[in-house]
Structure 1
Amino acid sequence: MIIRRTFASLALALSLALSPTTPALAQAALTPTTASAPNPFVAAASHVELSAPDGRKIDVSVWPAADERGVVIFSHGFNGSPAAYTRILSHWVDEGFTVVAPLHVDSLRHPDHAAYDGQAAFATRIADLAVTRGFIKATRAGKPLIAAGHSFGSLMSFIGGGAVTVAGPLGDPDIKAIVAFSSAGDLQGVILPDTYAALRAPALMITGDADLVPRYVTDWHAHRSPFDRSPPGDKMLLVFAGADHSLVRNAEAADFDLIERATTDFMKAHGLGDAAARARLDALSATDGVSLERR
């Protein structure tokens, strides 16, 4: 009921940011590039069907870590799917983080994709993630929870971590840390001047100086907003020279190695209280072509 009322109140504002006919923050390019070759990591996922408040069925992929230390709830980019992010997700699983990722209705792989327009993406994603967090807490009680996402999914992670949009406060205090690739930018009618003022959860933001999305992010500096406008304390920003909106998938080996190390140590340090990971994180320095900022 709450979700339905939220959607009704957001419809006008969202129409300014998410066109029903234009794939906002489109991630069609983030579908697997080797469709003819089965991806063993994708095939290894178990699937759980959860029920949304409006009766929708939510398909949730679960990749369990062999030695589970924490859980990452991952939200994919608009039009994307969890399967597009196997490069980074598989690394997190190997490092002891079970990954739990719902398939949102805006995904081109969702069987009911055509029944929903861009305006529906915001409210349905909020519901998807709330229900999925409930599932995680019921099945993995006591395990630290990290919110991660790409593009539109990163906005969802920030909201879970305390950011307040036109939807109001929807933060989950059980989220210990946030890892965000790119961002949804400063979506008109959705992001407020003080949206990130309440974002107190530790957050790692990763973007590039060519990270643009036609119509929605025309200046890559918009991706800095969660970092620049949130309270200082355990905030990090990595900016890769020349990197675009698909950095999370197409980063070169050296850059991806840095991304793997930074994200894993960030989650271990802030999610697990791992002192060794915190020491590595504090000692982390930028490499050529990468800037690193802390607040």
Structure 2
Amino acid sequence: MCRRRRTAALLATALLAAGLAGCSGGAEPAWREAAPPQAPKATTPAPRVPAGSAPSESFAVGVRQLKLNRDGDRPLPVTIWYPARGTAGGTPQRSATAATGRFPVVMFSHGLNGRPDDYELLLTRWAAAGFVVAAPAFPHTARGTDTNVLDVLNQPADVSYALTRVLALDAKAGDPLRGRLATDRVAAAGHSAGGVTTIGLFTAGRDDRLDAGVVFAGTCLGVGTAFAGAAAPQLFVHGKADEVVDYASGKAAYDKVPWPKAMLSLPKGDHGRALLTDGAALRVVSDTCVEFLRWTLYGDAAAKRRLPDEATRGGVATLDDRL
């Protein structure tokens, strides 16, 4: 058996055994206590974007769909949430007029048997903070498909393709997002199998356009830990009671990251249902991610200083800060 097939077989066995088909939905997790870890900080300079300030206001949120297809046989419908004109705090408005400004782009990858809209509570909070969030539905791992776990290995290329098409909207005549995208400020994020996809975008499938990554309940299985290219800060988020991807697996991947990094650990968190349900855990995770993205994509040093307080607010999570 060749190396790639052997890797794919191991990935399928491990992910199926772990039950990644249950990445989305369910009740709130049980809770238990844990002490915060301590670790030295990284010394690699970051972020690579120029210093600046993120928007201080909260935006209304618009939503639209982009129908893509890579190589003619990989349909990739993309949901895009973006800052919009109007009153902040309401539900996302379809095809709303984009807010004035240029906004960084975050590519989000869903978990196995999930869909982009499963994560709307989280991703609209990012959009309201001043980010354009684009989330493809993958052709073989989204809910309603054949749920082929091996296809996770093809998803980093899907994300890169979708990113190219999304960034092209900034120069497309007549497009509602024309002139609204900060095309040189891009991050990738993903949950579970989407976390594997995200790690892959910084290892075997390195996309040099990416300035930062956010990995929820992810593992390096199948995509490796050969992190490559320019330093791209990483934020890992993982529940210590994760019943699908063991916390130790996520921590092992995190430990291999050679760049500035932080790990937000939820002592009572499971595989990620807090990402799908409004509550204290979602708010802490979302606000921590927002500060991380403000720092890495807007160059906002004040956001980096606020991040530890947001991460540890209310005792919901602990932070290993090596940023």
Q: Do the two structures share a fold, i.e. TM-score over 0.5?
A: yes
Runs ≥4 residues deviating over 6 A: none
> Which structure is higher in RCO with an 8 Å CA cutoff and minimum separation 6?
2
In 2, Cα distance between equivalents of 1:24 and 1:122? 17
Task: Tell me what 2:119 maps to.
Answer: 85
Q: Which amino acid aligns with 1:238?
A: L
1:139 correspondence with 2:165? no
Q: Is the contact between residue 81 and residue 107 of structure 1 (CA under 8 Å) also seen in structure 2?
A: no
1:292 correspondence with 2:319? yes
Q: Secondary structure at the match of 1:261?
A: helix
Pick which of 282-291 and 222-231 moved more.
282-291
Task: Tell me what 1:257 maps to.
Answer: 283
Q: Secondary structure at the match of 2:196?
A: helix
Task: Tell me what 2:63 maps to.
Answer: 45
In 1, Cα distance between equivalents of 2:74 and 2:189? 23
Task: Tell me what 1:64 maps to.
Answer: 82
Q: Which amino acid aligns with 1:176?
A: D
Q: Identity of counterpart residues, as a percentage?
A: 25
Q: Which amino acid aligns with 1:260?
A: S
Task: Tell me what 1:155 maps to.
Answer: 196
Q: TM-score, normalised by structure 1?
A: 0.77
In 1, Cα distance between equivalents of 2:73 and 2:278? 42
Task: Tell me what 2:4 maps to.
Answer: 10
Q: Is the contact between residue 292 and residue 303 of structure 2 (CA under 8 Å) also seen in structure 1?
A: yes
Q: CA deviation at 1:222?
A: 1.1
In 2 relative to 1, CA 150–25 (structure 1 residues): closer, same or farther, beyond 3 Å? farther
Task: Tell me what 2:235 maps to.
Answer: 204
Q: CA deviation at 1:105?
A: 2.1
Task: Tell me what 1:220 maps to.
Answer: 247
Q: CA deviation at 1:107?
A: 3.6
Q: CA deviation at 1:271?
A: 0.8
In 2, Cα distance between equivalents of 1:201 and 1:22? 30
Q: CA deviation at 1:153?
A: 0.7
Of 271, 287, 294, 2:297 maps to 271
Q: CA deviation at 1:231?
A: 1.2
- The C-alpha deviation readout for 1:135-180, integer Å capped at 9, x for no partner, is 12212364321111101111222222x22xxxxx321121111111
Q: Which amino acid aligns with 1:79?
A: N
In 2, Cα distance between equivalents of 1:119 and 1:257? 33
Unaligned stretches of 5+ residues in structure 1:
1-7, 34-43, 164-168
In 2, Cα distance between equivalents of 1:241 and 1:52? 40
Task: Tell me what 2:210 maps to.
Answer: 175
In 2 relative to 1, CA 199–176 (structure 1 residues): closer, same or farther, beyond 3 Å? closer
Q: How many residues get paired?
A: 260
Q: Is the contact between residue 25 and residue 151 of structure 1 (CA under 8 Å) also seen in structure 2?
A: no
Q: Is the contact between residue 82 and residue 133 of structure 2 (CA under 8 Å) also seen in structure 1?
A: yes
1:119 correspondence with 2:137? no
In 2 relative to 1, CA 121–197 (structure 1 residues): closer, same or farther, beyond 3 Å? closer
Q: CA deviation at 1:95?
A: 0.8
Task: Tell me what 1:98 maps to.
Answer: 132
- The C-alpha deviation readout for 1:175-210, integer Å capped at 9, x for no partner, is 111111111x352xx254x43476831111111110
Q: Secondary structure at the match of 2:271?
A: coil
Task: Tell me what 1:129 maps to.
Answer: 159
Unaligned stretches of 5+ residues in structure 2:
28-61, 85-98, 171-180
Q: Is the contact between residue 196 and residue 226 of structure 1 (CA under 8 Å) also seen in structure 2?
A: no
Q: Is the contact between residue 20 and residue 117 of structure 1 (CA under 8 Å) also seen in structure 2?
A: no
In 1, Cα distance between equivalents of 2:317 and 2:18? 28
- The C-alpha deviation readout for 1:18-72, integer Å capped at 9, x for no partner, is 1599486524452599xxxxxxxxxx63221112125332211112222352111
